[in-house]
Structure 1
Amino acid sequence: MSKFHLSKAPITEAVLEIRVISDSEQNIDLLAESFKLEDYPIKESQVQIELKGEVSTEGKEPQSLSESARNIIGWQFRHKTNKQTLRVSTTSFGFSRLAPYENWDSFSGEARELWCRFSSIVKPSKITRLALRYINKIDIPGDRLELTDYFKTYPQISDEASGDLTGYFMRLISQQRDLEAKCVIHMGSLPSPNSETHSTLLDIDLFRTLEADLDEDLIWEILTKFRDRKNELFVACLTEKTLEMFK
């Protein structure tokens, strides 16, 4: 399955995340200064806002909330093309790519290069979470959508429930025991570009929580296995008729 490739894959966004523990104290502002990259010139802070207020226990209207603290907890850097985003904090590294998604080698190669810079600055000692998520938008032509024609995984209603299905949403959580991971699949209807198209979300999120010593090879070995499993699950959700649209 590692050689699986669709020339017209319906990926709208791919997201990779690594969470860590570091034994060294890190300055969040120094982290921002260390990521001054020519290809990622657009910097935005990620802010945590603390609110305070009084809550009534006597059925009275609650008092208005007010801001008590505002802290920068991370930074986001956007690529000059606006297609790629880097997110960093003292405990996490994230990388995402918007369509068009080229291939795993290109995506993971860029992520790994940025991760190496992050690792040299934060100096993590342990890995606590690895995650890989692919968000797909599948456009089905036609004025009427028969889910069984295009999907092998779908929400099913009984024959006794009358009426045409005009919207749906489904969430599935499964153990991937061989990977010591979990997978969350979201599937649902999306706004369509026109009346002759039905758009469907297929969101596949694989993640593993752990507390392992930092091992560069282990990180990318697990993430590559997640990518292969994502491909297997993607194919398992769709009929051959649908897959043909993306070849």
Structure 2
Amino acid sequence: MDPAVLRDDMVEGLEYGLDEPLDPEVSWAMRTVPRHEFLDEAPYENRPTEAYGTRVLAPKTAAQFVDALAADEGDDVLVVGAGIGYTVAVIAEIVGDRHVHAVDIDRRVVSAARSNLESAGYGDALVDRRDGAEGLPEYAPYDRILLEAAVVRPPTALLDQLAPEGTIVFPRGMGSQQIVVGERDRSAPDGYRILEEYGLVQLGPLLAKGERHTGPARNRTVREDAEFQSQGYFARSGWEYDWVDWEDQL
């Protein structure tokens, strides 16, 4: 079947499930972005899935986030949690490729997102490997920040990277979370105040420094060494050498 027809069906199904129409720009963007360039298996079904070792948002969840983001053409946007790159592409369709910046902690995911975005025609969107709690200060300030991981409150570094009238969208809470839109407010106890509240979602947590002492190790070498070892990967000199940019070293 024609992918354009599948995208139309997907969006109409999402709007039916949400019991209200999406913002026209969001609807148009989701009808335009070729999701099959990001996901091989059932790309237009409204369900979460797994790819590249990460959880992929269901289209409905992506639509809720982008709708809450309320970005306009030319807005500078930071996406924390690039995933496979689909949400990044939908936002890029609205604001323009060069206005979208995204970060993810997983090297494999970053590589996949870059490749997917290039294949889908959004290769000018920037995707970098960073700790999401630290954001991407080099390109700040941002008019909009989207955090695709659950937090009790947004990290201070992200709030500091907002433009004066900028807003941050994030799933608040643990377990089942509520999508909220906030803005920086230095007089508030947590440094921000809530502007709007949207529907419920269920995402994994963002592990910020010192926030969850019982969580996975913050040291990425320790954590990723263990993950690679469990997969049967072995290199005498250490797996991390696979990621050295040798052109810069020579």
Would the TM-score normalized by the shorter structure come out above 0.5? Answer: no
Q: Which has the higher contact order (CA 8 A, sep 6+)?
A: 1
Normalised to the residue count of structure 1, the TM-score between the two structures is 0.28
Indicate the structure (1 or 2) with the bigger Cα radius of gyration.
1
Write 1 or 2 for the structure with the bigger share of helix: 2
